[in-house]
Chain A
Amino acid sequence: MRRSTPAALRTLALLAAGTLALAGCAGQQGAQEGEAEGSASPTSTLTISAAASLQRSFDEIAQEFSAEHPETAIKAISYDGSSTLATQIVEGAPVDVFASADEKNMAVVTDAGLGQDPVIFATNTLVIAVPSGNPGKVQSLADLAGATTVLCAPQVPCGAASARLLENQGVSVKAASQEQNVTAVLQKVIAGEADAGLVYATDVAGQDKVESIVPAGAAEVVNSYPITALGEQPGAQDFVDFVLGPKGRQILEEHGFGDAAAGADG
């Protein structure tokens, strides 16, 4: 029987988020307590840390995986900025699978001697997101310079990609704000506080409060998502294989992620 349904996971995440917020602000996110009691048949439970941009696809993948692997229960998936997750893992958080939004943060984990041979499982490209109706009349990257534009901070994966894209196209933009993650950029655009922001293509897929524009040169700046199993927990490698397999790939594609091959070299 499956106890870790997405609904239960969502409730957990909600509770955890609430506790965190009360404690001050989003900082350390410890391992969440799963609903471990009961007559569960699974012989192994997994704790997964995944980049925030993977939330919708990994919720679905987890559901499909549980159906195929009743012997492995997914205890919890922590979604957060890749660098926050990487720090938690290096500092000893009990995590069995790590899916990062970039190779730099995966390297933080592997350099600490954790994880075996990360594999690129998806890629993402950038789009310009504008509020419905496009009040700032933004059509291209060049228009961003004259509009209230919000970008990711250059330290985080989406910000590094944004900086590369703008540099490639010879555009200089002074951001009204440098957000800590791509979700924050999208929220500022949805709220109408920003005329435009650079976000991942997957962030605007199925999002009806914003319009998106694929800017020139977007295809050349590809963000690669690596995944790895950490430690010896049985089932961890099964989950990684499932993500890399046909079902995982199909779900990722449905959410707008690109083929892993697109980013294999960079």
Chain B
Amino acid sequence: MASDIGVRAPGFAVAPALLGIALLVMPLVALVARASWGSFWQDVTSPEALDALWLSLRTGVAATAVCVVLGVPLAVLMARSAPKPAQLLRALVAVPLVLPPMVGGVALLYLFGRTSPVGQLIDSLWGVTLPFSTAAVVIAQSFVALPFLVLSVEGSLRSLGAGYEQAAATLGAGRWMVLTRITLPMAAPGLVAGVILCFARAIGEFGATALFAGNAPGITQTMPLAIYTAFNGAGDGRDAAVALSLLLLGTAVLVLVCVRAWRPGALK
């Protein structure tokens, strides 16, 4: 592993680094400081809070699964295509990153809404209307989270290069075997990082969900929406909002630590 000699960060990096960490951590400290611990337990164990947390976890996992199923093949395609098309694909994938999530929500509503051609087709085929449904939450979360997974996996594939894959191919391995025995195991660290980012983004999703899926307790009211709704209740709603924020924060950290602990080697 890397030795300590000659690779330590230069001294002048310390001050900005500490400021950077402070910028990230101090708001959370302020949040914790504002929590009213007297009602904390009651707030986080209320049926509404638990419904919202359970819904957030279910939709977050579902959205992450959707992103893995769609995103890994897309990343492989991008990493192994010619520079021009790869650039175009990367730009397209990055769109949800720069798009305000609320705009994404409006766009999803226009695409899948019940007055749109696509929405009407879905309705006539399966008798389903997407807006105001749990499926809409998963779609909104997948929309905003997919770029994180794709870019992370693609980055790790690209940095590895195609050398091992070419070697395997010259030794007679077929494309499928190269993909499953060489490419994916080597991309595993990128995949784990991508899954973590993707899940974190999905579970924190607010704007697109609010616009596209709405805010119905137990159906589309995920934690961020429950927090905003509680916050909008004047007076004592604020305490509940802070308590719910801490509950979401704690749960997300727990899930992410578990994913981290899950060694890339176990992926194969």
Using CB atoms and an 8 Å cutoff, list the residues of chain A in contact with chain B: 21-22, 24-26, 81-84, 86-87, 102, 104-105, 107-108, 148, 150, 153, 155-156, 175-180, 184, 188, 191-193
Chain A residues with Cβ under 8 A from B220's Cβ? 177
Nearest CB of A to B165, in Å: 39
Give the secondary structure class of B's interface.
loop
- Give the number of residue pairs across the A-B interface with Cβ within 8 Å: 88
Asked if A24 meets B109 with Cβ closer than 8 Å, knowing A155-B232, A180-B232, A193-B114, the reply is no
Size of the B side of the interface (Cβ < 8 Å), in residues, is 30
Q: Which residue of A lies closest to B214 (CB)?
A: A177
16 other A-B residue contacts (CB within 8 Å) besides A81-B232, A177-B132, A191-B115:
A21-B103, A24-B100, A24-B101, A25-B102, A25-B206, A25-B207, A82-B234, A86-B234, A105-B234, A107-B235, A155-B237, A176-B131, A176-B132, A176-B214, A193-B115, A193-B132
Chain A residues with Cβ under 8 A from B230's Cβ? 155
Q: Which of B206-244 contact A (CB under 8 A)?
A: 206-207, 210, 213-217, 220-221, 228-235, 237-238
Q: Are the CB atoms of B114 and A192 closer together than 8 Å?
A: yes
Q: Are the CB atoms of A153 and B235 closer together than 8 Å?
A: no
Asked if A156 meets B216 with Cβ closer than 8 Å, knowing A22-B100, A25-B101, A148-B132, the reply is no
Q: Is B113 an interface residue (CB 8 A)?
A: yes
Compute how far the CA of A10 lies from the CA of B20 in the bound complex, rounded to whole angstroms: 34
Chain B residues with Cβ under 8 A from A22's Cβ? 100
Compute how far the CA of A177 lies from the CA of B136 in the bound complex, rounded to whole angstroms: 12
Q: Which of A21, A86, A191 contacts B102 (CB 8 A)?
A: A21
Compute how far the CA of A89 lies from the CA of B244 in the bound complex, rounded to whole angstroms: 23
Q: Which residue of A lies closest to B210 (CB)?
A: A180
For this complex, 23 residue pairs linking A to B, each with C-beta atoms less than 8 Å apart, are A21-B102, A24-B101, A24-B206, A25-B100, A25-B206, A25-B210, A81-B232, A83-B231, A87-B238, A155-B237, A176-B131, A176-B214, A177-B213, A177-B214, A178-B215, A179-B215, A180-B215, A180-B228, A184-B210, A191-B109, A191-B113, A192-B115, A193-B114
Q: Which residue of B lies closest to A108 (CB)?
A: B234
Compute how far the CA of A156 lies from the CA of B230 in the bound complex, rounded to whole angstroms: 9
Chain B residues with Cβ under 8 A from A178's Cβ? 214-217, 221, 229
Chain A residues with Cβ under 8 A from B207's Cβ? 21, 24-26
